[in-house]
Amino acid sequence: MKLPTLDRLLEDQLRDLYSAENQLVRALPKMAKAASADGLRQAFTTHLDETRRQVERLNQVGEMLGIKLTGRRCAAMEGLVEEGREVIDSEGEPEVIDAALIAAAQRVEHYEISAYGSARTLAEHLGHDRAADLLQETLDEESAADEKLTAVSIGEVLPAATAQDEAVNAEEETAGVGTKKAARPQGNTNRRPAARR
Ligand code: FE
Ligand code: ZN
Ligand code: FE
Ligand code: FE
């Protein structure tokens, strides 16, 4: 990778983001399909629409700066998408899978937040004000998506998963096989989000 100037660095950062967003356009429909909670499926679908617009925004930035955005692979997003794939392929209670999907998706949002923050700062420093504004717009959407996932987690997914955990524990107690499991403090930890509502 040749990085002789800050302009070349910005170009590389934007190409990395372009690859990352395009990977997400392919991955988010699979995340939505794997989600069981209505609110979570909706959050993924809404963010898919946003992500398509984010790709368009990057195209605008590329045109503004005279940069060709194709031809790079974001290795970090490949890894994050692979971890999402592992969740989709997991076996377990749908409520717990939903919680795992959220954990995987929030890793993605945080990666994007940091990448757009760096690109925005760089664009601003180089005097590309209009480009910086567009990058900030996307950055705000990524932050909102992250917050939405936390809200869906606290409001819908974790309470449902806790109800499921308790049903499993009760079943095991009745069957007389789960004495050890039922005594684990983990149950209390899981109950906290529901209590905070
Ligand atoms: Fe994005
Ligand atoms: Zn990357
Ligand atoms: Fe870590
Ligand atoms: Fe995003």
> What's the pLDDT tens digit per position in 36-82?
999 999 999 999 999 999 999 999 999 999 999 999 999 999 999 99
pLDDT at 180 over 60: no
Question: Which band of pLDDT confidence, cut at 50, 70 and 90, is reported for residue 15?
Answer: very high
Considering every ligand atom shown, identify the ligand nearest to the alpha carbon of residue 79 and give its number.
2
The CATH code of the domain at 6-156 is 1.20.1260.10
Considering every ligand atom shown, identify the ligand nearest to the alpha carbon of residue 116 and give its number.
1
- CA 192 – ligand 1 centroid, Å: 31
**CA–CA gap between residue 159 and residue 108 (Å, rounded):** 23
CA of 47: how far to CAs of 37, 74, 112, 132, 149, in Å?
16, 19, 13, 21, 10
Contact between residue 194 and residue 165 where contact means Cβ atoms under 8 Å apart: no
pLDDT at 195 over 60: no
Who surrounds ion ligand 4 at CB < 5 A?
A: 112, 142
Listed range (40-49, 130-139, 170-179) with the worst mean pLDDT: 170-179
Considering every ligand atom shown, identify the ligand nearest to the alpha carbon of residue 147 and give its number.
4
Question: Which band of pLDDT confidence, cut at 50, 70 and 90, is reported for residue 1?
Answer: confident
Count CB neighbours of 126 within 10 A.
16
Residue 37 has φ and ψ, to the nearest 5°, of -70, 135
Q: Is 56 helix (H, G, I), strand (E, B) or coil?
A: helix
- CA 109 – ligand 1 centroid, Å: 7
- CA 17 – ligand 1 centroid, Å: 8
**CA–CA gap between residue 4 and residue 134 (Å, rounded):** 25
User: What DSSP state is assigned to residue 116?
Assistant: H
**CA–CA gap between residue 135 and residue 111 (Å, rounded):** 14
Amino acid type, 66: G
CA of 128: how far to CAs of 18, 20, 74, in Å?
18, 22, 23
Token pair listed for 89: 């392929």
**CA–CA gap between residue 143 and residue 149 (Å, rounded):** 10
pLDDT at 177 over 80: no
- CA 71 – ligand 2 centroid, Å: 13
pLDDT score for 89 = 97
pLDDT at 145 over 60: yes
